[in-house]
Structure 1
Amino acid sequence: MRQSSSPAAPTATPASYAERLGLPWWAWPVGLAVAGLLAAELWLGATGVRAWLPFVLLIPGTVAALWWLGRIRVEVRDGELRVDDAHLPVRHVADVVPLDAAGRREVLGVGADPLAFVVQRPWVGGAVQVVLDDPADPTPFWVVSTRRPVELAAALLAARDAA
C-alpha cells in the first residue's frame, strides 16, 4: 500500500563547495618541536614548578595556536559564500577571478585597494578575487585563499546563475 507523501519541510542544500584552510602537515611537527625545545630551554634542569610548567603551558598552547591558524572554512551553500563568519550573498557577485600565487601577490601588493575584504593564508598558494556588484557596499571585491581556485570560482558562478 502506498502512502501519500506530504510536502517535506525545506532542507538546506548541500554545500556545492567546502574547504578548510588547514595548515600543511609539516607545520604540526615543526611547531611542536619548537615548543618542546623552548620548554626544555626554560626548564634547564630546574626542580619544582619550573620542571613541568613550561611543558604544561607551551605544548597545549602550541596545539591550540596551530588549530586556530587552520580553522577557517570556505563554503558556497544556500546562496552564499561563507568565509569563516563572513557571508556574501551570491546575488552580489559580479565576477570571480581564480588567482595563482603570483596573481594573489599582485592583487594584494602595493596597489591593493584598502577597502577590499581579504582572508588570505600564506601557506595556501591560490585564491579567488570575487568582484562585487552592490551599490550599498563600499567593498569593491573579496580576496579569499583557496587550494582549488578554479573549482571555487565555478561553484560561485553556478550558485549566482542559479539564484
Structure 2
Amino acid sequence: MTHFHERLWPSPMMFIATALVIPASILVMFPISLLAGYIVAAVLYLGCVALLLLMAPTVSLNDGELRAGRARIPVTMLGEAEAFIGEEAAQKRGPELNARAYFLINGWAKQVVQVPVLDENDPAPYWLISTRRAKELAAAINRSRRPETLKPRG
C-alpha cells in the first residue's frame, strides 16, 4: 500500500514577517503603558504563530484515498498525476489555473501536483496540490492507482 504524508508548515520567513506585529503593538500601546505594549505584543505574536501552525494543511495518501486539506477523493477516481516545479508550477498556479479545479495552493510550497479527476459527475476537472515534494507525491499517487498495488503479491 502506498503512503505519503506531508504537513505544509509555513516557511521560517513567515514567522519573521509575523514578528512585525511586535513593534507595531508596542508602538500602539506605548501611550497607555509600555508594559501593556509588551504584553499585547507577546500575546498577538504567539497567537499569530499558533494560527500559522494550526492552519497548516496536510496532504496525505493512505488506504487508496488522497487527502488535500479537508478534501478527499479515492485514487480510483484519479488519472495520471503530474509534478510541476519552477516556472511550470507558477504557470499552473496562475495563468493556466482552471477556476473549476479543486486547488490547495500554499504560498510557501512552490511545487505542485496536478491530478485529473475521472469522475464525470465531479465538477472539478482536476486537483492542483501545493507540495514541497511534487515528484514523490505524483509517484505515490500513480503507484496507488495501479491495480497490482492493491492486490497482495503471491
Distance 2:39 2:127 in 1: 43
Matched residue of 1:95: which SS? coil
Task: In structure 1, give the amino acid aligned to 2:46.
Answer: P
Cα offset, 1:52, TM superposition: 5.6
Unaligned runs of 5+ in 1: 1-12
Matched residue of 2:52: which SS? helix
Which of residues 139, 142, 151 in structure 1 aligns to 2:127? 142
Task: In structure 2, give the amino acid aligned to 1:143.
Answer: L
Asked if residue 31 in structure 1 is aligned to residue 49 in structure 2, the reply is no
What CA RMSD, in Å, does the superposition of the two structures yield over aligned residues?
2.2
**What TM-score comes out, normalization by structure 1 length?**
0.80
Matched residue of 1:135: which SS? coil
1:76-91 residue pairs with structure 2 within 5 A?
76-91=61-76
Cα offset, 1:158, TM superposition: 0.8
Aligned position for 2:40: 54
Q: Rg: which structure is higher?
A: 1
Which of residues 110, 115, 138 in structure 1 aligns to 2:100? 115
Q: Is the 8 A contact 1:124 1:147 kept in 2?
A: yes
**What TM-score comes out, normalization by structure 2 length?**
0.84
Distance 1:48 1:110 in 2: 48
Task: In structure 2, give the amino acid aligned to 1:21.
Answer: L
Aligned position for 2:143: 158
Cα 1:97–1:51, aligned 2, differ >3 Å: closer, same or farther? closer
Q: Is the 8 A contact 1:43 1:50 kept in 2?
A: yes
Asked if residue 43 in structure 1 is aligned to residue 29 in structure 2, the reply is yes
Cα offset, 1:54, TM superposition: 2.7
Q: Is the 8 A contact 1:42 1:54 kept in 2?
A: no
Task: In structure 2, give the amino acid aligned to 1:140.
Answer: P
Cα 1:22–1:51, aligned 2, differ >3 Å: closer, same or farther? closer
Q: Is the 8 A contact 1:16 1:76 kept in 2?
A: yes
Q: Is the 8 A contact 2:26 2:34 kept in 1?
A: no
